Amino acid sequence: MLRHLRLPSYAEEPRAAIAQTLAVPETRDHWREIVDMYRQTDPRQDRLMQALANVIDVTANRRVSDELVELVFILCLGRRGCCSCAL
């Protein structure tokens, strides 16, 4: 599923649906890859951004807590838009 999520040839809706299927603890090993996808996603793709944020939330654990705090801090500073603080 991660391979398909990375494909830019898919429209936003299918990619968001794929991301939703990845919002399970078993995806935890790919947390940083999901964060990178989130950061690279066009902010106008709100549905995809929300789906990726959900994956980040579900798969985060103490091992990545410092990175999660940093990500939220950056987002809330407005670099990715105020709505992104819903992480």
| pLDDT value of residue 84 | 46
Q: Identify which of 82, 12, 15, 22 has the alpha carbon closest to the alpha carbon of residue 58.
A: 22
Decide: 54 and 24 in contact? Cβ < 8 Å: no
The share of the chain scoring above pLDDT 70, in percent, equals 87
pLDDT band at 79 (very low <50, low <70, confident <90, very high): low
What does the block give as tokens for 68? 């999660």
Q: Which one-letter DSSP state was computed for residue 77? A: I
Question: With left for phi above 0 and alpha for psi between -120 and 50, is residue 11 left, alpha or beta?
Answer: beta
The share of the chain scoring above pLDDT 90, in percent, equals 49
- Mean pLDDT for the stretch of residues 32-57: 92
pLDDT, tens digit, 9 for 90 and up, residues 4-25: 888 888 999 999 999 999 999 9
H helices present in the chain, as ranges = 2-6, 12-21, 31-40, 46-59, 65-74
The domain ranges of the chain are 2-86
Q: Identify which of 26, 48, 47 has the alpha carbon closest to the alpha carbon of residue 38.
A: 48
